[in-house]
Amino acid sequence: MKFFVDTAEIDEIAELHDLGMVDGVTTNPSLILKSGRDILEVTKEICALVPGPVSAEVVALDADAMIEEGRKLAKIADNVTVKLPLTWDGLKACKVLSGEGKMVNVTLCFSANQALLAAKAGATFISPFIGRLDDINIDGMDLIQDIRVIYDNYGFETQILAASIRSVNHILDSARIGADVITAPTKVIKAMAGHPLTDKGLAQFMADWEKTGQKIL
């Protein structure tokens, strides 16, 4: 399973990258706003740091303008993935840009039918939003499962990029189902390392070590 980090914060990306945890990065207009950075500059910096796919999202709503924005974003670096919304115009732009050999991530996917269309339009990645479905009392993991079955039924090569991940269980369930990629905020990836029994066991080891009076260094 590939790990993408869902942020435009360079420091966070660098820390996880040093640990070998970053196979790619995803950004969106809200994350660019949060970073306070210029989209072209920050995307260039991220692409120089991480060799894997780096999603940068268009903001136009009609296909022709999306295509022009996508071409401009793709010129930043070879590893830019053009992120397009799952609208009819977004699908048109996906077909054109993927036909030009550019990586495309189709985002804001909330149904298996949408995912089927994105695969047929040549998407490299489909981004189903788990957390936002959970927010409205629909199980987001059911969508990941449905897309996995449908893509496997027909051999679609579009990669399932589980997005809008809010908890470590979203990552675990995505791995169980066989999502190709997860994209998660830094804090959720870091939370995967935590376990109360690890903390408890370590406290006991430290207390016993103290009693030995020994030192290693």
Catalytic residues: 83
Q: Backbone phi, then psi, for 179, in 5-degree steps?
A: -60, 145
User: Is residue 26 at the binding interface for ligand G3P, with CB under 6 A as the rule?
Assistant: yes
- Helices then strands, counting H and E runs in the chain, come out as 11, 8
Are 121 and 113 within 8 A, CB to CB?
Answer: no
Q: Of 164, 170, 188, 189, which one interacts with ligand G3P (CB under 6 A)? A: 164
- Give the interface segment with ligand G3P, choosing from 35-43, 118-126, 136-144, 163-171 (CB under 6 A): 163-171
- Residue 125 in contact with ligand G3P, rule: CB under 6 A: no
Q: Is 121 left (phi over 0), alpha (psi -120 to 50) or beta?
A: alpha
Q: Which of 6, 23, 57, 173 binds ligand G3P (CB under 6 A)?
A: 6
For residue 2, state whether it binds ligand G3P (rule: CB under 6 A): no
**Non-local CB neighbours of 117 within 8 Å, separated by 6+ positions:** 86, 91
132 near ligand G3P (CB under 6 A): yes
Look at the alpha carbons of 195, 196, 199, 200 in this order and tell me if their dihedral is positive or negative: negative
Q: Does 28 bind ligand G3P (CB under 6 A)?
A: yes
Can residue 81 be called a binding residue for ligand G3P (CB under 6 A)? no
* Site residues for ligand G3P per CB under 6 A: 6, 26, 28, 127, 129, 131-132, 163-164, 166, 183
